[in-house]
A and B are shown apart, each in its own frame.
Chain A
Amino acid sequence: MAVGWTLARVVAEGFRGVNQAITLDCGDHTTLLLAPNGKGKSSTLGAIEWCLFGNLKYQSPENRTNDEIVNMHGPSGKARVRLELVGDGGKLVIERTRAVRKRDTTLVVTKPDGDELQGDEATAYLFRTLGLTFDDFYRAVFLHQESVRGLLTDEPRVRDEALDRLFGLEKLRDIAAAIPASVVRDAVNEIQGKKQRATDKLSGAASVAEQNRSRYLRDAQETGFDESSLNLEVGVSIADSLRGRLELACSENRQDSILLPEVKDIEDLEKVARKAKDTTKNLRLAGATASPVDKATSRIVDLQRLSKSLITARQGLEEATRNHASQRAALGEPDAVEIKKTDLGKRLHALATEREALGARSKVIGDALTYLRAMSTETKCPVCEQGISPEDVVASLETRLEGREREEQERISAETSVVTTELDKIAESEKTLAKLEKARQVAQDEVSGIEAKVKKAIPKEFDDPLAALAEAERSIIGGLDALKEASTRREQALQAIDAEADRLRALHKFLKADADFANIRAKTQAEADADAGSALDDELEGLLALEDSLAVISQAISKVARERAADAVESSRDGVSLYYKRLCNHPYFDGIRIEVEDKSVKGVQKNSYTIRAFSTTDGKDSLASSRLSTGQMNCVALSVYLALRDVLTHNLSFVILDDPSQGGWGQVLNLDIAHFNRE
């Protein structure tokens, strides 16, 4: 065992079961702590462990925050442990504190030369100086009451690890366990998968790129290119040509000139083509709203419409005039009509007078008849006094009177009817004549209105509007051809620009497809070229080399560990037997031995240990764990622990045993205390 640091003093305060500060000065050899249960023995030993590593092996996780570390009744409200270790180089002071309800601890290490280290720096220094991990400490230095039987009763893996550590192979085992071989393998698999997927994509894309290139080459050739002229310089030249043509087109169409972008790379070709196409589109739209041809055509239509309207209106006027004249002729001249109307009126008046007179006479006769009827007793005429018969006279008078009266009345009525009809006819004819006159006037107004429009449409003197309209139309039609020709020329210029823009687009598409194809071909070739070595292959090779190296290192570690374990078993054999005999004093199995063999765990060779009890009398042996009682098992564990710890390699030269017999001090006291003493 390496000579290192021994424990000189422990100062604990507010730590677990320790309330007030206690100081434990360790002797040069063995220090025994004897006290009843609950008096702080384990807390004092735990303080050493906590001070060195900031952790407790058997503290349950749920107590690690609001914890059992700090004594709740401690005066300072914090746990503080100070260790003084003494070695050849001087004194090493380690002090760790932790406030209640705090997770973090404060570690201060004062080196032998007086330098003070804190935090991670202090932790790293402790690891280098003490030469063991927290787990190693538990296997090699601190035999906890909970783990005293671990060497025999734990699962084989744990027992193997424990024995490895007892044989001083803990670093090798720790290193081997720390090498994450599966991480490397996983990464290799992942990168291989990525490479495969990316290569597949690249391969598919290369095929598409080649198709694109062929297609766009065909398209470009259809627009007049030959393959040798498909380059950016030609594109620049076409763009310059487009620039000039567009400037001219804008000028001819009275539009502001357009600024085309400069061609510096392939993408600029598409920008120029798009801008040119947009410009021709806008020029066409502007031309569509102000086309001279359209204007002339529209004017011709207007003139033709006016002409037609005038002809129609004139025909209407002629007809109205004709109708009016015809009606007038049928009615007669106005004077004659007036005379006739006067005469008829007079006659009608006379007839009315006659009808009135006839009515008066009829009344007198009626009255006389009434009288005669009333005086029917008269026998003489009151006038001539001749004898009369009143009834006869009345009957005769009534007959004569009715006949004459009726005739007169019929005559007057018939004549009145004739006169009235005649007057009605005249009135009706006059009314019709008035209507016709009005219609004629309307037709005349329409003709006048259209003629006014013609005058407005043809701003020059003329006698015949229709002739003027025809002349104007002829004049416009004569100029229309020239306008159409100009429009055709303009459209041809725009189409030429579009065609150049299309060529530019075709060139752009080909150059882009060509660049894509070249790019992807270069990438594909780089991936396929094993000699050149792609980046992915480099990474894969690097990881595979790392994996190989790690495997070789793991094998070397396993081999060395196996050899060292065999040596340790051999060298500690006597010591184990000696401790076992003294501690256990078994009546039959009075000897104990450790056997080591290879075991493959997930492809890595590891040491596998078996502890067997045997009888020195007849040589029979058995697995210790299957033959011995619990107390005897404790003795076996302690024997192995005490004998094999001599082969440990670390820098702590002390051992802590926390109640190894679990209350059975009688068994421990069988052991000569002198065996614990340091030499």
Chain B
Amino acid sequence: MDIRAIIADELRSANGTPETLALWDEIAATFEDSGPDGVKELISQRVKDARKRAAKEAKEMTEVAGAVAKPKKKRRK
């Protein structure tokens, strides 16, 4: 049974997007090559990369916000 092709057909018949088909292709290839741990690693790595980029962007936003200091009160002479 060619699992890869069967699921791909099922995805196509369910109007799966090209991205979904590509992802399935990648998951199936990874499973064939490295087993379940490989699939977990594949998805986890994508998520990790996205989180890393998001954290960097959020940090930049926070830094931009943090660069603005509240004005000091004027000393009365």
Interface of B is mostly: helix
Of residues 189 through 212 on chain A, the ones whose CB sits less than 8 Å from some CB of chain B are 190-191, 194-195, 197-199, 201-202, 204-206, 208-209, 211-212
Asked whether any CB of chain B lies closer than 8 Å to the CB of A24, the reply is no
Of residues 535 through 573 on chain A, the ones whose CB sits less than 8 Å from some CB of chain B are 535-536, 539-540, 542-543, 545-546, 548-550, 552-553, 555-557, 559-560, 564
Q: Is the CB of A546 within 8 A of B36?
A: no
Chain A min CB distance to B4 (Å): 9
Q: Is the CB of A516 within 8 A of B68?
A: yes
**Contact A180/B44 with A550-B23, A553-B27 known, Cβ cut-off 8 Å:** yes
Chain A min CB distance to B61 (Å): 4
Contact flags B46-74 to A (C-beta < 8 A → 1, else 0):
11001101110110111011111111000
A553 CA / B4 CA spacing, docked (Å): 11
Which residues of B are found within 8 Å of A216, using beta-carbon distances? 71
Asked whether any CB of chain B lies closer than 8 Å to the CB of A124, the reply is yes
How many chain-B residues does the 8 Å CB contact rule pick out?
46
Q: Is the CB of B36 within 8 A of A174?
A: yes
Contact flags A518-544 to B (C-beta < 8 A → 1, else 0):
011001000100000011100110110
Which residues of B are found within 8 Å of A545, using beta-carbon distances? 19
Q: Is the CB of B36 within 8 A of A556?
A: no
Q: Is the CB of A195 within 8 A of B58?
A: yes
Q: Is the CB of A523 within 8 A of B61?
A: yes
Q: Is the CB of A204 within 8 A of B65?
A: yes
A179 CA / B6 CA spacing, docked (Å): 18
A557 CA / B11 CA spacing, docked (Å): 9
Q: Which of B10, B50, B62 contacts A543 (CB 8 A)?
A: B50
A205 CA / B67 CA spacing, docked (Å): 8
Name B65's closest neighbour in chain A (CB-CB): A205
Q: Is the CB of A557 within 8 A of B7?
A: yes
Q: Which of A183, A215, A520, A649 contacts B64 (CB 8 A)?
A: A520
Q: Is the CB of B20 within 8 A of A552?
A: yes
Q: Is the CB of A549 within 8 A of B3?
A: no
Q: Which of A168, A174, A539 contacts B54 (CB 8 A)?
A: A539
Chain A min CB distance to B58 (Å): 4
Q: Which of B11, B51, B53 contacts A535 (CB 8 A)?
A: B53
Q: Is the CB of A552 within 8 A of B36?
A: no
Which residues of A are found within 8 Å of B10, using beta-carbon distances? 556, 559-560
Chain A min CB distance to B64 (Å): 5
Q: Is the CB of B14 within 8 A of A556?
A: yes
Q: Which of A133, A209, A555, A560 contacts B6 (CB 8 A)?
A: A560
* Chain A CB within 10 Å, residue with most, of B10, B33, B57, B68: B68
Which residues of A are found within 8 Å of B71, using beta-carbon distances? 211-212, 215-216
A21 CA / B36 CA spacing, docked (Å): 35
Q: Which of A175, A543, A552 contacts B31 (CB 8 A)?
A: A175
A520 CA / B65 CA spacing, docked (Å): 7
Asked whether any CB of chain B lies closer than 8 Å to the CB of A285, the reply is no
How many chain-A residues does the 8 Å CB contact rule pick out?
61
Which residues of A are found within 8 Å of B17, using beta-carbon distances? 549
Chain A min CB distance to B57 (Å): 4
Q: Which of A180, A520, A540 contacts B40 (CB 8 A)?
A: A180
Asked whether any CB of chain B lies closer than 8 Å to the CB of A178, the reply is yes
Asked whether any CB of chain B lies closer than 8 Å to the CB of A266, the reply is no
Name A196's closest neighbour in chain B (CB-CB): B58
A559 CA / B9 CA spacing, docked (Å): 12
Chain B min CB distance to A216 (Å): 8
Q: Which of A171, A177, A201, A212 contacts B62 (CB 8 A)?
A: A201
Q: Is the CB of A202 within 8 A of B61?
A: yes
**Contact A198/B47 with A178-B40, A516-B68 known, Cβ cut-off 8 Å:** no
Which residues of A are found within 8 Å of B20, using beta-carbon distances? 548-549, 552-553
Q: Is the CB of A198 within 8 A of B39?
A: no
Q: Is the CB of A543 within 8 A of B47?
A: yes
Contact flags A487-511 to B (C-beta < 8 A → 1, else 0):
0000000000000000000000000
Q: Is the CB of A184 within 8 A of B47?
A: yes
* Chain A CB within 10 Å, residue with most, of B39, B55, B61, B64: B61
Q: Which of A187, A553, A564 contacts B50 (CB 8 A)?
A: A187
Which residues of B are found within 8 Å of A208, using beta-carbon distances? 68-70
Q: Is the CB of A560 within 8 A of B7?
A: yes
Q: Which of B39, B43, B66 contacts A205 (CB 8 A)?
A: B66
A534 CA / B44 CA spacing, docked (Å): 23
A209 CA / B50 CA spacing, docked (Å): 30
A sample of 18 cross-chain residue pairs with beta-carbon separation below 8 angstroms, ordered by A number, consists of: A175-B31, A180-B40, A197-B58, A197-B62, A198-B65, A201-B65, A523-B60, A536-B57, A539-B50, A539-B54, A543-B47, A546-B47, A549-B24, A550-B43, A553-B11, A553-B23, A553-B24, A553-B27
